[in-house]
C-alpha cells in the first residue's frame, strides 16, 4: 500500500492506494497532520511506501514524521517522471503541475491532453500524444480575483463566489460576480478552443477545488476528476519503484 501526501496552499490532502486503486482520501489543515497521520497508519498498517509533494515550504515537518515510519519519496524537479519534460525552466515547474501531467500520462497514454486545475491559481498544462510536456499557463484563481478587487481598490466589497452570475450585473456585487465568474468561464472556453484548434483529438481534464463552482459543459472529450493530482502522485511513486 502507498501513502500519498499533497500539501497545497490551503490544505493537506492525503490518500491511501492499493496499487492504482484509491482506498480512502482525507483533507485537513496542515497543523492537524501529526494527529491525522497517526490515525491513518493505525488504520492501514499495510502501508509500505509514501510520496510527499508540497507547493509550500512547510514539508520538512511532514517529511520527518513520515520518514520515521516509512520510506519517503519527496517530489522535486529531479524525481524521475513518466514523460519528457520540454519546459524551458524545469527547476521552476510546480510539483502540482508535474503530478497532473503524470496523471495524464497514466490515464490517457498516447493522447493529446490539456489539464486545467482550478485551485489557488488556475493552471493549464499540456502533454502531447508522444508523452512530451510542452508547458501551459498560470492564471489567477477564483478567490484570488475576488480578494484582489477588494484589496487593491478603495470601495469595492469582498464578494462571496457563486456558481452562476448574470451576464449583466445591476449592482456592484453582481457586476463583480459577472466579471469574475463569467470572465473565468470565457477564459476556460477560449483556452480549450485554442488548444483544440492546434491539437487534434484533444482530451481535457478539469480538476481542482474550484472546478465545481466553475463548472463547464462536459463534452465527450472533457472529463471532471477531483482526484486527478493525487492519482498522479501515486503513479509517480509506482513509476519510481520500477526504475
DSSP string for 52-72: EEESSS-HHHHHHHHHTTS-E
* N-to-C CA span, the chain: 18
By C-alpha distance, which of 56, 74, 61, 98 is closest to 3?
A: 74
> What's the CA gap between 131 and 209, in Å, rounded?
26
Residue set of the binding site for ATP: 6-13, 120
Residues annotated as part of the active site = 96
Residue set of the binding site: 6-13, 87, 94-97, 117, 120, 172
> What's the CA gap between 76 and 207, in Å, rounded?
22
Residue set of the binding site for K(+): 117
Q: Which three cell numbers stand for residue 12?
A: 493537506
Amino acid at each position: 500500500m502507498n501513502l500519498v501526501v499533497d500539501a497545497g496552499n490551503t490544505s493537506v490532502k492525503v490518500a491511501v492506494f492499493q496499487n492504482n486503486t484509491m482506498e480512502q482520501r482525507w483533507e485537513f489543515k496542515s497543523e492537524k497532520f501529526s494527529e491525522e497521520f497517526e490515525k491513518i497508519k493505525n488504520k492501514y498498517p499495510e502501508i509500505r511506501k509514501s510520496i510527499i509533494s508540497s507547493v509550500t515550504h512547510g514539508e520538512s515537518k511532514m517529511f520527518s514524521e513520515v520518514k520515521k515510519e516509512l520510506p519517503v519519496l519527496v517530489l522535486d524537479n529531479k524525481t524521475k517522471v513518466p514523460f519528457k519534460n520540454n519546459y524551458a525552466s524545469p527547476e521552476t515547474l510546480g510539483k502540482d503541475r508535474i503530478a497532473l501531467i503524470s496523471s495524464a500520462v497514466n490515464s490517457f497514454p498516447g493522447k493529446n491532453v490539456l489539464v486545467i486545475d482550478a485551485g489557488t491559481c488556475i493552471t493549464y498544462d499540456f502533454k502531447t500524444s508522444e508523452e512530451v510536456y510542452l508547458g501551459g499557463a498560470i492564471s489567477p484563481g477564483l478567490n484570488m480575483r475576488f480578494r484582489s478587487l477588494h484589496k487593491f481598490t478603495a470601495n469595492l466589497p469582498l464578494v462571496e463566489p457563486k456558481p452562476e452570475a448574470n451576464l449583466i450585473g445591476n449592482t456592484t456585487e453582481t457586476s463583480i460576480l459577472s466579471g469574475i465568474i463569467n470572465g473565468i468561464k470565457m477564459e476556460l472556453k477560449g483556452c480549450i478552443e485554442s488548444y483544440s484548434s492546434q491539437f487534434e483529438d484533444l482530451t481535457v481534464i478539469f480538476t481542482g477545488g474550484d472546478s465545481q463552482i466553475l463548472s463547464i459543459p462536459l463534452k465527450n472529450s472533457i472529463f471532471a476528476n477531483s482526484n486527478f493530482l493525487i492519482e498522479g502522485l501515486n503513479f509517480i511513486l509506482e513509476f519510481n519503484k520500477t526504475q
